[in-house]
Amino acid sequence: MSETDEMLSAEATSPVCINLQMMRSSHYILKAYDEAYRPFGIRATQMPVLGAVARRQPVTIRQIADELESERSVMSRKLQVMEKNGWIREDPEASGKEKMFVLTRKGKELIQKILPVRMDVQQRLMSALTRDELDLLLTLCNKLKAIS
Amino acid sequence: MSETDEMLSAEATSPVCINLQMMRSSHYILKAYDEAYRPFGIRATQMPVLGAVARRQPVTIRQIADELESERSVMSRKLQVMEKNGWIREDPEASGKEKMFVLTRKGKELIQKILPVRMDVQQRLMSALTRDELDLLLTLCNKLKAIS
DNA sequence: TTGATTTCTGTGCATATACACATATAATAC
DNA sequence: GTATTATATGTGTATATGCACAGAAATCAA
């Protein structure tokens, strides 16, 4: 086997990759949430944002992005979509530099309707793990975050 | 506290969410790979695809999508980008219905150059966990995938 | 106060992700 | 052999993600 072929071997190009495995698991979980949320017209990736706005309103784009550890411009566009959907709106109280968002009545109602659904999926998730396993998983996730 | 306010409380809208935590960890890890790969012009999400093409060439879009557990049309577009970048090309041997891809010389060279970089990041990752922790994490990830 | 710096946001661009729909080819049933 | 079904791919649309760049507003230093 040539050196080149060795580099292309399964061993070299596809060792068990912890990140791929984590991404795949997350992917399937996200899909489960998405399917459960579909009748409500909200996506799984929007739900944490809606919750964060609900808890912290009035809140700036930057604050939401920081809290959810997401990129700022991404959050900016997500909030635009959510505003278009009528779940949140701009708060006119905001000062010149920043933009503040608050929950609308429609957004509040959506949360109320969807929380039980969210609970159901979480229940399914949690039933896959014991309490100890859950704690351990969170610990390991935190350890991994440290490499950044 | 009204019933509505209770529903918007931190407890209800943001219990520790295992999926969010996993996604965040993956996010940071992916970012570490992306930064390491940047000088080579390939993204972290493309690397597993390149490796899969290398191992299984000639290979169809469907086969790659299945192996990497990703959506087919997504993989179709990813492969287009990678073809545009000159790392892979269509194999004219393909039958009418399917499209086959093979690695180009440029793709092979890229893999050879980038594998050590990939190893470095993986090393950093692995050093955050013990061998037991790693095994456990993989086990837990697999348990979670079962909810889909 | 003025000039430099920081902070908050928007925008352009490329890629990624998911789903629904459309098309073409292959396989199968009869 | 033709009709049906299954398989492989492409495309449209919406959203998501990340980065670089740009402009406006606030802050700070002198």
Query: Which residue did the predictor score with more confidence, A42 or B134?
Result: A42
Measured N-to-C along each axis, helices A18-37 and B105-126 cross at an angle, to the nearest 10 degrees, of: 90
Region for B94 from its dihedrals, namely left if φ exceeds 0, alpha if ψ lies in -120 to 50, beta otherwise: beta
- pLDDT band of residue A105 (cuts 50, 70, 90) is very high
CB-based contact, B125 to chain A, within 8 Å: yes
Residue B18 confidence (pLDDT): 87
User: What parts of chain B have a pLDDT lower than 50?
Assistant: 1-2, 14
Closest Cβ–Cβ partner in B20, B55, B137 for A48: B20
Residue A1 confidence (pLDDT): 44
- pLDDT band of residue A12 (cuts 50, 70, 90) is low
Cis amide leading into B58 (omega within 30): yes
Q: Please report the DSSP string for A83-109 in residue order.
A: HHTTSEEEETT--SS--EEEE-HHHHH
Cβ-Cβ contacts under 8 Å for B126 (sequence gap 6 or more): A18, B134
A143 CA to D4 C1' distance (Å): 55
Average pLDDT of every residue of chain A: 88
Residue B37 confidence (pLDDT): 96
Residue A6 confidence (pLDDT): 58
What is the per-residue pLDDT across A63-103, written as a single tens digit (0 to 9) for each? 999 999 999 999 999 999 999 999 999 998 877 889 999 99
Residue B12 confidence (pLDDT): 53
Coil/strand/helix, residue B29: helix
Give A-chain residues touching B140 at CB under 8 angstroms: 129, 133, 136-137, 140
Task: Establish whether the CB of A60 is closer than 7 Å to any nucleic acid atom in strand D.
Answer: no
Q: What is this structure's pTM?
A: 0.88
Closest Cβ–Cβ partner in A4, A55, A147 for B14: A55
pLDDT of A14 > 60? The answer is no
Residue B26 confidence (pLDDT): 93
**Count of C-beta atoms within a 10 Å radius of residue B61:** 20
Residue B148 confidence (pLDDT): 64
Residue B77 confidence (pLDDT): 97
Residue B1 confidence (pLDDT): 44
